[in-house]
Amino acid sequence: MAKKAAKSTFRGQYEDEEVLYVFRKHPVVMRKGLIMFMLAVLLGTVPSFIKPEMSYFIGGLVGGFLLGIILMLPAWVYWYFSVYILTDQRFIQVTQKGFFNKKVIDLAINQIQMVNYEVVGVQETLLGFGTITVQTIVGNLVIHDVHKPAHVQHEVLGILRERGIAIHTGTNVDQEKQE
């Protein structure tokens, strides 16, 4: 879930700062909430087995649907409000866990040394998500479950190279071009 930022703004943005790229995790991070939603809808049909009337079936289904939405809401909040923003000055990771727990990592883009990605396993390969590792001066920033990690890495590296920041990709391609 990545997009080119078109005049995007966010809370905490500096006046002279331009948003260049925004991405978030793959919707697969909501799988637990989706399973809970489906089980709640299935549980809602139980009253119709006890008293097989249409009103019990519809009422139970509506109740199960509402319970499912309540159970899925925290997973959706985690996915939707966890966002990664690359500006012309910094890389920002906003992670929302539940309703009252927000974590923000703010990193100057000139501190980024290397951006790598990894796709491991059948599920990640088939569904198109993986892990991105942003190596910095102060340590590694590991982002799990990123949608289309090769594309995201390519976009981030392109933006950083446009800004004149020397980035290593873990390959010898850069060295071969210089020789």
pLDDT in tens, 7-63: 677 777 778 888 889 999 999 889 999 999 999 999 998 888 888 889 889 999 999
Which residues neighbour 132 within 8 Å (Cβ) at sequence distance 6 or greater? Answer: 115, 116, 117, 142, 143, 146, 149, 152, 153
Domain-ending residue, one of 48, 76, 104: 76
The CATH number covering residue 130 comes to 2.30.29.30
What is the Cα–Cα distance from 162 to 86, expressed in whole angstroms? 13
- In this prediction, residues 149-166 reach a mean pLDDT of 87
Same domain, 11 and 95: yes
Same domain, 92 and 127: yes
**Domain presence at residue 133:** yes
What is the Cα–Cα distance from 96 to 60, expressed in whole angstroms? 32
Same domain, 19 and 92: yes
Lowest mean pLDDT among 30-39, 135-144, 148-157, 165-174: 165-174
Domain span at 68:
32-76
In this structure, which long-range contacts are made by residues 37-43, counting pairs with CB atoms below 8 Å and at least 24 apart in sequence?
37/68, 37/69, 37/71, 37/72, 38/68, 39/68, 40/64, 40/65, 40/67, 40/68, 40/71, 41/65, 41/68, 43/67
Same domain, 45 and 12: no
Amino acid letter for position 126: L
Domain-ending residue, one of 43, 76, 109: 76
Same domain, 17 and 43: no
pLDDT tens by residue, 68-85: 999 999 999 999 999 999
Same domain, 51 and 98: no
**pLDDT value at 176 more than 50:** no
Q: pLDDT confidence of 168, banded at 50, 70, 90?
A: low
**Domain presence at residue 126:** yes
**What percent of the chain has pLDDT above 90?**
53
Lowest mean pLDDT among 4-18, 21-35, 107-121, 132-146: 4-18
Same domain, 51 and 20: no
**Domain presence at residue 124:** yes
Same domain, 103 and 159: yes
Alpha helices in 28-163 (DSSP H): 31-44, 46-50, 54-81, 122-127, 149-162
Same domain, 90 and 114: yes
**What percent of the chain has pLDDT above 70?**
88
